[in-house]
Chains A and B, each alone.
Chain A
Amino acid sequence: MGGRNPGAAVHARAGPWQTGGMSWYDNAAAPWNFVSRKLITARLVTMWIWLGILILGGLVASLLTGAPLLLLVPAAALLLGGWGSWLIVRQVTAHAWAEDEEDLLVRRGRMFRSVTVVPYGRMQFVDVKAGPLERALGIAKVQLHTASPGTDASISGVPASEADRLRDRLTTRGEARLAGL
């Protein structure tokens, strides 16, 4: 299969959680780089802030009105939060990228999983973004743009120092292999 090394499965399975069950894409010649675990913290914090507001609101409302049924809201939020937290951990630990000879591969998701293959020569530009929370945790999001709006090639949770290097690497490779549209 092209220049890819089928034996790379060993690298691919280096993650702490196995992709499990059915075989899934791991034919990258280069090793998969898993994103930083700090992304879990970042996503958990964001999610629980919203849920926290909901829970507090529900509690206050039920105290004020004395309607015990309103307690269902915080209960539901808690359940949702528990499930969401589990999802976030699963998602983040499946999110990885690999830099092949000619293409960048981005792998994401566990329940809905996807692999995106972006040739370096097709990259129009690269974005590095980090919000306040992400900056505090020292991670950033690297997003690649091609001429196609369908290309979903963003890598969240790249360690900040690595993000800049990754961007430079991608840009250099892109320029070297730049192809017309």
Chain B
Amino acid sequence: MNDTTGYVYHAPREWTRLHPVSPLLGGWVFLGLILAYWIHNQLPAWVDGGDDNSLAFFDQFPFLWLVLAALLAFAATIGISFWQWRRTEYRIGDDAVYLRQGIVTRQQRQARLDRLQAVDVVQPLLARLFGFAAINVQVAGGQKSGVELKFLRLGDAEALRNEILALAAGVKEEKATGDDAAGTTAPTAAPDATTADTTASSGIRGHLAARAGALSNPEAVLSGTERVRTAVAAAEEREVYTLPLKRLLLSIVLSGATFFLLTLPFVGLIAFFVFRVDVVAAVGAAIGTSLVAIVTALAGLLGFFWTRLNGGFGFTAGISADGLRLRHGLTETRRQTVPPGRVQAIRLYQPFLWRGQDWWRITINVAGYGEDQESVSVLHPVATREEAIRAVWLVLPDLGDPDPYGTLGHALHGHGADGGFTASPEAARRVDPLQWRFRGVRATDRALLIRRGRWERELFVVPHERTQSLGLTQGPIRRALGLANVVVHSTQGPVTPVAAHLAVDDAIELLDAQAARAREGRRRQTPEQWMSAVGLETGASDE
């Protein structure tokens, strides 16, 4: 791709198709099926115990026919994908990213930039091998409201992301003061103007020329694969932490799934000696019935290891003017940008086996991601205590506490009332004998901290201005004990903060105080266009 260094990418202001290679990046599943069938036929019969009939249907056809059928299906898939590709177009405007698609039913969708929650550049394995990437624009407003563009060349995808972020950040406000005269005369260029070069994007380019420093310092991941050739450079990024592979592997070893695998033989031994079960025969019988079934069961377990490894591989977090940047992935890589103020809640979790190392797994709620897989909602797969505190700092630069380290330390490891936490009363022992001493709630000026857990530990951090609503609940047992729960409703995601088993009076007080703090927080929260808020772009263009 070095032959295109003279070419500068501009995000399309008029309807544009995705990269023509896109239809070719799907449809391989049919060839995979044939391969699977072939392997299945080549293997000796004992492997699947002979009573696995899932593929028997195909046995009645000659192999050549099957190959032909698969090729036909493959061609059809590619053909349909090609047709779909022809009918899929996108463009960006000043206020939204537009996508229209569909063969039979046409669908037009717009992702409003003022509702933007995150922009991801995703590279599945195949796309990655050929230097392509998909771009996911996540907006608030329920499931499936985002826009997914696949595929673009990696460099173009990066550039498009930068431009979308620049627009969403409110950089376009800058147009009036841009150095380009053409830009000043058309500050309200129609979003579908076809003369994109001279009008709408000039303000951005003015701004981005200012960021040119970043051009000479492209993202590390990019440097090896593709040159950055973009009108809009990525906001300069400062790396905050990287996960070493060694720690990731060790953390996977120190997981419940490994523990389960390791204890299996002991369970077998106990069964053999104590209960006189003929383990060898049992295992033999199990394997005899179907090795495939066992492999499937193991695959489920291995799936866990794989998700953890793939999601956490090379995990790097950085901070930039456009917000949080996360990069990770082994086969499928993902680069996430979450603008400031989009993280709704944080959960720090320490499984029992990680206690010795004092490691934490940190997950977040981001509105656009919704109920998505865990791959997108991780802020740090395995953080040391130091990194955990830094991760919280990434989201909440100001914890609103004079001693953030001390407070977070108490939040992560304290118990009872130390560190100013409101603990559960002794009555909670009746319903929660193990961890009642370790439950605690504390509000700083900016966030609510909820702590729990004795063997495994958990800490929720919810910024006050991100509280959606609050709940107070009590069932008959808690009522008899004078306890109640306070629930903080966050957006959809893996983090569901609950302060359980508080004394009723404490709970009621917390509810009221928290409602007041959330009200206060909403008043001073950062506007949606994060750059126009702090005036960063003015400072940048003066340089």
Contact B489 A1 (CB under 8 A): no
Chain B interface extent, by class: 35 or more
Shortest C-beta distance, A45 to chain B (Å), equals 27
A27 B473 Cβ-Cβ under 8 A: no
B101 on the interface (CB 8 Å rule)? no
Q: Is A17 an interface residue (CB 8 A)?
A: no
Q: Are B474 and A181 closer than 8 Å at their CB atoms?
A: no
B482 adjacent to A22 (CB under 8 Å): yes
Asked whether B472 lies within 8 Å of A115 as measured between CB atoms, the reply is yes
B198 at the interface (CB under 8 A from A): no
Please state if B140 and A111 are interface contacts (CB–CB under 8 Å): no
B471 contacts chain A at the CB level, 8 A cutoff: yes
* Chain B proximity mask over A21-58: 1 for CB below 8 Å, otherwise 0: 11111010000000000000000000000000000000
Nearest neighbor of A123 in chain B, beta-carbon distance: B469
The answer to whether A147 touches B472, judged by C-beta atoms less than 8 angstroms apart, is no
Contact of B472 among A2, A3, A25, A151 (CB under 8 A): A25
Could you say which of B489, B492, B515 contacts A103, with CB atoms under 8 Å apart? B515
> In the complex, which of the residues B487, B489, B504 has the most CB atoms of chain A within 10 Å of its own CB atom?
B489
Partner of A114, one of B465, B471, B496: B471
The B-contacting residues of A in range 129-181, CB under 8 angstroms, are 146-153, 177, 179-181
With the chains together, A118 CA to B341 CA distance in Å? 20
Flag whether A74 is at the interface (Cβ < 8 A). no
Judge whether A27 and B522 touch: CB under 8 Å.
no
Asked whether A119 lies within 8 Å of B474 as measured between CB atoms, the reply is no
Residues of B close to A149: CB separation below 8 A: 492
- For residue A117, CB closer than 8 A to chain B, the reply is yes
**In the complex, A111→B496 CA distance in Å?**
24
> How many Å lie between the Cα of A165 and that of B487 in the bound state?
29
Q: Which residues of A contact B512 (CB under 8 A)?
A: 1-2, 4, 27
Q: Is the CB of A148 within 8 A of B489?
A: yes
- Output the nearest chain A residue to B529 by Cβ-Cβ distance: A180
Contact A25 B528 (CB under 8 A): no
Partner of B527, one of A121, A147, A180: A180
What is the bound-complex CA distance between A151 and B505, given in angstroms?
22
Which chain B residues numbered 243 to 282 have a C-beta less than 8 Å away from chain A? none
Which one of A1, A114, A122, A148 lies within 8 Å of B473 (CB-CB)? A114
Interface membership of A127, Cβ < 8 A: no
User: Judging by beta carbons under 8 Å apart, are A122 and B468 in contact?
Assistant: yes
- Give the residues in chain B near A116, CB-CB below 8 Å: 469-472
| B residues less than 8 Å from A177 (CB atoms) | 522
The answer on a CB contact under 8 Å between B475 and A119 is no
| Pairwise interchain contact A152-B527, C-beta atoms closer than 8 A | no
5 examples of A-B residue contacts, CB within 8 angstroms = A23-B508, A27-B508, A115-B473, A115-B511, A151-B471
For the complex with contacts A116-B472, A118-B469, A146-B469, 10 further pairs of A-B residues with Cβ separation under 8 Å are A111-B475, A112-B476, A115-B472, A117-B472, A117-B515, A119-B518, A121-B522, A148-B469, A180-B527, A181-B344
